[in-house]
């Protein structure tokens, strides 16, 4: 029994750690949720989740250290190696927490920015989070290196030279990264927009650090480097407030001028009264004489940019034109073709229209 007596206190300390982990920590979590009433439950939960693993790690290290201090192996705690090890574990737990907080408190970060009327694109905020996590890892690693007695200045100089070498080797990749940041800040387009650029037309599906993917009409997925997109002309058709309807209606060249005038008046009246066509900017005119037709030029704008709705408005206009032409007994130029043939039984030529 006397053999185990020196180890009773160390075992009690380790048991206390596990007791704290199983019983007391849930109570502390509930108390923190009550005191953090100004934050949303999801935000508090994110902070707690971020600190859970680092807290377990450092508490286990400290429990082991204190247990060692009251054990027969107490002399080990005075060793310089043990001190460096404990301090390194503390540094790891602190920066581990910061690293987790960057991702778990992402929504809190966006809410804070929105309170200052600053809105960030989701992709851009993810890029910022990635850079912050890389910065936290670099600083934490530098502090651990410094703790073990290595020259931090030499490390930073080496990191700078290494960074220069990497930047020279990956110049195009860095150009794409900065291009993506410019795109996300200026917002010439967002995911879901219909754009045309560099000979490619389609819907934007994804904006990544390297490229932007565009889905074309043939369902092909085209990847364009962000460095090119940031320095080229982009036509964003989703940003327009209206869509143009423009075509020429060809009618028979035998149509009397009086019928043509009445038809033009009815077409203008229909466009003026249509609820989804702008009535303050349109043209309906007898435009020109065709080879065997009279050409009516029709130009107007729909009040929608949604493609399927736009097609529906064009369909309504086309049906209205058919009704107007039927009402005034006007034939299209395609139905007035003259056909000539020879009759061998009688001299001359007969004509059928």
Q: Are 204 and 191 in contact (CB under 8 A)?
A: yes
CA dihedral of 263, 267, 272, 276, whole degrees rounded to 10 = 160
CATH class of the domain whose range is 243-335? alpha beta
Residue 186: per-residue pLDDT: 84
Least confident interval from 100-104, 263-267, 299-303: 100-104
Token representation of residue 232: 């080229």
* pLDDT tens track for 303-324: 988 888 999 999 999 999 999 9
- Provide CATH 3.30.70.100 ranges for the chain: 243-335
Q: What residues does CATH 2.30.30.60 cover in the chain?
A: 176-239
Q: Are the C-beta atoms of 191 and 238 separated by less than 8 Å?
A: no
Q: Is the pLDDT of residue 10 over 60?
A: yes
Instruction: Please list the alpha-helical segments (H only) found in 70-225.
Output: 80-104, 106-115, 122-147, 152-169, 171-186
* CA 63 – CA 81 distance, rounded (Å): 18
Pairwise CA distance, residues 129 & 142, whole Å: 20
Would you state the pLDDT for residue 347? 46
C-beta atoms surrounding 251 within 10 Å: 24
Other CB atoms within a 10 A radius of the CB of residue 142 amount to: 15
Task: Give pLDDT, residue 348.
Answer: 47
Domain 176-239, classified CATH 2.30.30.60, yes or no: yes
pLDDT of residue 247 exceeding 60, the answer is yes
Rounded mean pLDDT of the chain? Answer: 79
CA atoms of 53 and 21, how far apart (whole Å):
11
Work out the pLDDT band at 352, boundaries 50, 70, 90: very low
Query: Does the model's pTM come out above 0.75?
Result: no
């Amino acid at each position: 029994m006397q053999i185990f007596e020196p180890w009773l206190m160390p075992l009690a300390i380790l048991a206390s750690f596990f007791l704290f982990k199983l019983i007391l920590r849930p109570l502390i979590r509930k108390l923190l949720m009550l005191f953090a009433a100004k934050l949303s439950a999801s935000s508090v939960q994110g902070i707690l989740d971020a600190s859970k693993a680092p807290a377990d790690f450092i508490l286990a290290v400290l429990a082991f250290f204190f247990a060692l201090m009251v054990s027969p192996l107490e002399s080990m705690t005075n060793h310089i190696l043990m001190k460096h090890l404990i301090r390194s574990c503390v540094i790891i737990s602190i920066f581990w927490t910061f690293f987790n907080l960057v991702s778990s408190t992402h929504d809190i970060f966006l809410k804070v920015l929105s309170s200052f009327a600053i809105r960030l694109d989701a992709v851009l905020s993810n890029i910022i989070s990635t850079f912050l996590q890389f910065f936290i890892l670099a600083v934490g690693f530098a502090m651990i290196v410094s703790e073990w007695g290595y020259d931090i200045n030499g490390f930073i100089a080496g990191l700078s030279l290494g960074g220069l070498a990497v930047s020279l080797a990956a110049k195009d990749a860095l150009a794409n990264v900065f291009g993506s940041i410019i795109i996300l800040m200026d917002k010439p387009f967002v995911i879901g927009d219909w754009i045309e650029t560099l000979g490619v037309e389609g819907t934007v599906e994804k904006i990544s650090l390297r490229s932007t993917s565009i889905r074309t009409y043939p369902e092909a997925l085209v990847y364009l480097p962000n460095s090119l997109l940031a320095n080229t002309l982009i036509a964003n058709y989703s940003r327009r407030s209206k869509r143009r309807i423009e075509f020429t209606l060809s009618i028979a060249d035998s149509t009397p001028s009086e019928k043509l005038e009445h038809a033009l008046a009815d077409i203008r009246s229909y466009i003026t009264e249509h609820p989804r066509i702008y009535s303050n900017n349109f043209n309906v005119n007898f435009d020109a004489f065709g080879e065997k037709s009279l050409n009516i030029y029709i130009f107007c704008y729909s009040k929608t940019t949604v493609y399927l709705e736009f097609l529906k408005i064009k369909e309504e206009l086309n049906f209205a034109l058919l009704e107007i032409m039927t009402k005034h007994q006007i034939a299209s130029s395609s139905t007035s073709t003259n056909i000539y043939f020879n009759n061998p039984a009688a001299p001359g030529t007969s004509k059928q229209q």
